Amino acid sequence: MGKSLTVTALCRLFRQRGLRVAPFKSQNMALNSFVTPDGYEIGRAQAVQAEAAGIAPSVEMNPILLKPEGDTRSQVVIMGRPAGSFTFTEYHRRKPELIRVIADCLAKLRGAYDIVVIEGAGSPAEINLASYDIVNMHVAEAAEAPVILVGDIDRGGVFAQFVGTMDLLEPKQRSRVAAFLINKFRGDSTLLRPGLDYLAKRFGIPVLGVVPYIPRLRIADEDSVALEDRHGRLAASPAQIEIAIVRLPHISNYDDFLALEHEPGVVVRFAESVSEIARSDLVVIPGSKSTVADLQWMRDHGFADAIIARALRSDPIVGVCGGCQMLGATIEDPAAVESSTRVTTGLNLLPIVTRFGPEKRTTQLRARIASPSLLSGGLATGLEISGYEIHMGRIERVAEAAAPFQIIARNGVILGADDARDRKTPDILDGAISENGAVIGTMLHGIFENDALRAALISGLARRKGIDVSSGPRVATRDEEYDRLAETVRSNVDWEAIERIAGLR
């Protein structure tokens, strides 16, 4: 549990106290993003925190989102809309404008809610970046807010991190720090007592508590660092379903598969080598921030040949968003929106082409099952699901092909009857299904959060393997998981001290 989940827990706990609470993170760098009900893109973490607080996510909760495109550039999303691709220097030339945007959003939230829980990013003591800070102590000072330093002990060195951070902060900033909090501890917390006493004695502020590591928490993580915990999982037994997600270098929205990870009888692996997908029951190519670069990576590392061989054997393959685009015939980018390569040959397993353009589609949507496929198992055509879209590239069918889903509504706007009848309209029909039914592509994120669809997929894979995975514990709802997170935090911290720090006592 890092800072994002700590804020999620606090949002839930303040909500349980009867307060109107909202999260805020001025600048987020992450490839996991989400779409607000009115169609704006924000960091996935702030959407999760809003859900824990019992409110709808809004763009004011994360006005600036940075989506890395490589080592030196990021797509910059300001107020939910792409502003362009920038280097670090180019981006920070806009600092005066960004500071105003941040101040306006924070003021709006503070006027609408009883309490706003602000999350920082990385470390507040990066002295080489201090003059550029618009997310850590700058925001705390602008809001005149007390600060809790949160340390992840799971990766070691937490006491050195706390001491080093305090020593590097300017005296005025250091005086704003009200307490420390340690999280992700595994073991006997009494072993930490000498370190806790040292912190309290040296800095004269309390350690609020030690939160234990919470296993198998069905709450989306903020960034791909969390995938390290998934690496090296044991292969599935013959009585289990194994789903291999290709761990692309620029993987995005990998939380699409979080619900599958918690299904009994299912093992989800994030595969970094071809050998890890050899015996899997389903291979998934996930979303990507750099589709062309990640497609080339798959070719260089043998994944492309292995996936084509699977398709020829009629072994199941699913592509989501960027993964769907890779499965098509070509990826065209005439304006160099995503890469400098104008035309890239895809895996040619689906009769679709992708064309990148300057406009990014960000929608929450409702759809219905349009054609039977492995994704829908035995579910009836017409059954409704929900999901969301985040993509620059639009797909188009170049040959007759079935589509797994038909879009009913985007951002609450029902599609017209004439549009719905025109099943060739690319904006109405989503994705494609190969002629042999083994390869399925969809541009929709979040579809596996639909319980019926997820169950149908697992049942179909189980039937194909000749096993039964229907028995087992029920998958916890996200609401139940927010309560589990909140109770764990409350039981292991000085909650009265947190309320005093927040000005509630």
CB–CB of 352/312 below 8 Å? no
Q: Is 324 annotated in the active site?
A: no
Q: Is 321 annotated in the active site?
A: yes
- Which of 266, 256, 263 lies closest to 447, judged by CA? 256
CB–CB of 119/140 below 8 Å? no
Say how far apart CA 393 and CA 443 lie, in whole Å: 10
Say how far apart CA 162 and CA 236 lie, in whole Å: 40
DSSP 112-157: H-SEEEE---S-TT-TTTGGG-SSSHHHHHHHT--EEEEEEGGGS-
- Which of 385, 349, 350 lies closest to 259, judged by CA? 385
Find all residues with CB under 8 Å of 283, minimum gap 6, and list them. 243, 244, 246, 277, 307, 310, 315, 316, 317, 318
The one-character DSSP state at 402 is B
The dihedral through the CA atoms of 276, 373, 314, 431 has a sign that is negative
* Angle between helical axes of 193-203 and 158-168 (0-180°, round to 10): 10
What stretch of H or E contains 345? strand 343-345
Q: Which conformational region is residue 209 in: left (phi greater than 0), alpha (psi within -120 to 50 degrees), or beta?
A: left
Which residue is catalytic, options 138, 250, 391, 445? Answer: 445
- Which of 94, 91, 77 lies closest to 39, judged by CA? 77
Helices (H), ranges, 301-351: 303-312, 322-326
Which residue is catalytic, options 11, 105, 321, 324? Answer: 321
Angle among Cα 56, 58, 62 to the nearest 5 degrees reads: 130
CB–CB of 390/253 below 8 Å? yes
Taking residue 162's Cβ as centre, other Cβ atoms within 10 Å add up to: 23
Say how far apart CA 400 and CA 405 lie, in whole Å: 15
Q: What is the set of active-site residues? A: 321, 445
